[in-house]
Structure 1
Amino acid sequence: MPLHPDIEDPADSLLSADDGTVLARLRIRDDDGERVAGQVRPLPRAALNHVATQARRDLAGLRLDTPDDGLADALVATGLKLRRAATDMRHDLVDIPAPVALPTGWSLGVPGWDDDLAEGLAAAYGPDHPDGAWQTRDTEQIRAMFDDGQPVSPLLPASARLVGPDGRSTGHVLCAGPVPWTDDVCAWVLNLALAPRAQGRGLGQALLTHALHGAREAGLPAVGLSVADGNPARRMYDNAGFQPLTRVLSVLLPPPSDPW
Structure 2
Amino acid sequence: MTDVLIRPAHPFDAAFAVPLIQATIGRIGHALTGVTDDVTAERTLLGFYPLRGNRLSFEHQFIAQSPIGEPLGLILAYPGALAQGLDDPFRERLRSLGLPGHVESEGTPGELYVDTLAVTEAARGRGIGARLLDAAADRAVALGLHRVGLLVEDGNPAARLYTRQGFRPAGKRALAGGTYTHLVRDLT
TM-score normalised by structure 2 residue count:
0.62
Alignment of 1:91-102 (within 5 A): 102=1
Q: For residue 114 of structure 1, give the secondary structure of its aligned residue in structure 2.
A: helix
Deviation per CA, 1:90-133, whole angstroms, max 9, x where unpaired? xxxxxxxxxxxx333x21122233313345556x6498x9x999
Percent of paired sites with the same residue? 25
Q: 1:25-60, CA deviations, whole angstroms, 9 ceiling, x for partnerless residues?
A: xxxxxxxxxxxxxxxxxxxxxxxxxxxxxxxxxxxx
Alignment equivalent of 1:144, drawn from 48, 59, 76: 48
Q: 1:175 aligns with which of 77, 84, 87?
A: 77
**Larger gyration radius, structure 1 or structure 2:** 1
CA RMSD after TM alignment: 3.3
Q: Structure 1 residues 144, 229: CA separation in 2 closer, same or farther (over 3 Å shift)? A: same
Give the alignment partner of residue 65 of structure 2, picking from 163, 173, 181: 163
Contact residue 18 and residue 49 of structure 2 kept, 8 A: no
Match of 2:89 in 1: none
Out of 93, 104, 115, which is 2:15 matched to?
Answer: 115
Extract unaligned runs of 5+ from structure 2: 31-36, 85-104, 178-188
Instruction: Evaluate the alpha carbon distance shift between residue 189 and residue 139 of structure 1 in structure 2; reply closer, same or farther with a 3 A threshold.
Output: farther
Aligned residues: 145
Structure with greater helix share of residues: 2
Q: Distance in 2 between matches of 1:208 and 1:139?
A: 27
1:249 to 168, 174, 177: 174
Shift of 1:138: 4.9
Structure 2 partner of 1:20: none
Give the residue type in structure 1 aligned to 2:51: D
Report which of the two has the higher share of strand.
1
1:232 to 150, 153, 157: 157
Q: Using CA pairs under 8 Å that are at least 6 residues apart, name the structure with larger relative contact order, 1 or 2.
A: 1
TM-score, normalised via structure 1 length: 0.46
